[in-house]
Structure 1
Amino acid sequence: MNSTPPASGGAGPSSGAPAASNPPASGPQSGQKRTATGRESPLNETPSPAKRMRKKKGKGKEKTKLVEGFHLKKSEMNPEQQNAKKAVYTHTYILLGVTRADTAPPIRTPALIKSFEDRLEPNFIETLRQNLRKTSSANTGSAGMVQKLRAQASAHANDGSNIAKDILKVKETYLLAIFNALLSAGLEVWCPDYFGPPDSLYNQVHETVFLETFRSVAGSHGYRDFELVISIAHNTAFVLDVYRMCVFDYMRGKVKREEKKPGKLAQIRADNNALRGRAHLAGKRTDFWTKDMWPERVIMLVQDPRCNSDDESGEDEAGKRVHVVAAKGLRSASATTFTHWMEKRRIKADEKNRGKRKSNIVERDRVYLAESQESDISSQMPEEVPVDWFNPEEFNDLPAATRFKYSKFGVALPLPEHHKKPDWKTMDKTTFMEKYGNDVLKQYDIPTEAEMQRAGNRGWEADDEDGDGMSGVE
């Protein structure tokens, strides 16, 4: 991998980068799009480089809409290709130095990109490709880059980042080879131009570094833990398709979202984590309540993930990692009290059974604080839930049609003072309502069938023979 060494100084393309090239005939050509089958689409089939035109029919005329041209649907890939996609994305994250999903990739200014291209020598891409395939001693600085990446990945893996966990699966030897090649190419950081054409000289340099280092690491079984099939890794057409989707669709989207609203990626990650955690909790609660033989109307109090509180990762005063539970203002005190009681039973039962299972996953520590605030997703309403899941005051402020809808799901619990009485658990609906349910309904303003059929103020119109809306007014 002998090539011009990078110049010292600021981040970005090295001032020592050799330069200017004619794109090699074997490389990605302008106007072509790689396909997963390995066929290259000719110029007259697929417009390129970064966008395709889709004709959309409007009223009496055709409208033309720009659509992104670098996206492969999951359904278009078999399991082996999906494993290869994961390896390609991980390799891209390694080169970018990004170890978590809420971090936008680095960007470069157009002026810096042009300056880099102006320094390229004729046939540089082909020369670079040949040099990257040669064995060379390590460049000064590559070991430090590896050390920094691994330390960053270790910290973020502890925070739950799957990207960081995947990076840590790659042995240090391979990481050294990747960053050695990067520095040999005259780059101090790897940073494609996400908004430029893939076949620009600047992007060809980055693409070449990616393809050569990926081929080398994959061919040496560096992505064995990803169950990567070597023949797919050597299918340059497929790898290039996935690479361009990652850079010019996925990473480009991250940059655009973060530029439009700084902190957006962090918010998306937090919301996604909260949604996944909430859904997981709902599943565990539903399973336990079902096994504990509660009636369906009671199980409905936790069955929909939106019935349950989400939580946010944090630390307590002692520095212990905990999950602080967000407030759930919509939920009634009765439903909350019963759910917490059942949750203590579930966790206790889970602890007793944990040693019997192969998986020894410890229940995460959820902390309830008096001053907890509602999150962005904690105010979401379940689709189907008994009326007493709702806080009466919140429920009575809902539109009549909404209140009527939820009344159809009945009452799940007696008043809190009767929660632990054993008789109501096995009662039929009629008996339960007579003894307990009707007392609960007194807190809720439930519209009658007649009120709903009346449909607003149309009764006035029916009583107003003159049709002027002033009947009875002198």
Structure 2
Amino acid sequence: MSSDFPMSPPPTGGPSSSTGKRKRSVDKSPKPSSRTKKSRPSRVRQPRKPKRPSDWHMSRDDVPKEAEKLKVALELHLRVLWNLPDQNAVPPKVTNQDKASFDGRFSSEKQVKTTVTTSLDQNSGSIHDAQVKVEQLLASLPEGSLISNNIKRIAKPFLLLLFRAVASLGLRRWAPDVLSADPESLYNLLHEHIALTTFERVSSAYGYAHTGLILSCIHDFPLMRKLYRNFVFAYMHKIAKSEEKSARINVLKAQGFNKRVVSLALENEAHSDDELGDVNNDTVYFIKEKEGRSTKIKNFFRMVPIDWFDPTYWNTYLTVRERANYIQDGIYVALPMEEFCDSWGACVAWKNLPAKEFMATYGDNVLKQYNIPTKEEMEQLEEWDNKDESDESELSGGDDDGTDDTEGGLE
């Protein structure tokens, strides 16, 4: 029976066989294939499609009944960590300084989780900064607020534990990057594990007993993560984004722009998914490409990023019906041609012109780029609408003779 391993050749200096001839050793090792095996190209990982804040939202029906008090307690816990004791308090923007001590420290979520747990175990002693943070939090609590009253019911040692956890991990403050809309970044995962680990410890020690939570729920990690991301990346993201948009509107008003331009910025469909980012340690806006965006609008709103229709998109991709819907309340132009929108200085000439003068000087030239539905097209749309209503009436109504054959009409 042959061996599964290749045989070793005999020693070259040993005696020959009885025939006096040296036998050549037989190499039974597998022969290399004549066909060269092509190496597989390394698979390029496609970037994940970013999720929207609504993807993290949990409706009332999504929260199990036994976890309703847990949700209240966790959100209170997060407000303490965040130092947001008021219902309308806005989470702070994350700066490069916030991330400076974090960069390069972690390479995986597992490392993040282990570090948080170990740090809490090893830093049970007092950290001076934590004491200061607790005093600042308690001093900032508004009177008569339900959130404030619930925070006051948390024992001081538990409050110290929260801020010690943050300080022991080298963070300047607990500040998840809600505007990044990326809970899976290591920076955000660190904040998540700090929050959930400290919440579990405080809850286990009955620190949130006054909320009436069911303790068995705190060990359900998938549920805890859903509740956490619902509050941080859906609810608080909405508040932060709203504050950001308000700031843009205030910039336009402070610069003295007319109502047409401010209305353009306020339009619900006008705001893009632009976001804050870092370039060379400076905080900047990334203006994302978006279908239908006019470059004129994009350039003008590099100071106030929004979207609007590019003439080619309007003329090519929108149906006559869609165009008619957009102009049903009237046709007006907010901005002049692109060359008049690329700097604040260029805007001075037109930003406060009366509507009629603006249209005569700038607006009419802009309108020439857009195919506005004609009178004949509008009449045809109206005719189709009337016909559709008539057809529906025939399908849902009585017979052609006008009699009613429903049960209510029978005697």
Name the TM tier (shorter chain). Answer: 0.3 to 0.5
Q: What TM-score results when the alignment is normalised by the length of structure 1?
A: 0.39
Compare CA radii of gyration and give the structure with the larger one: 2
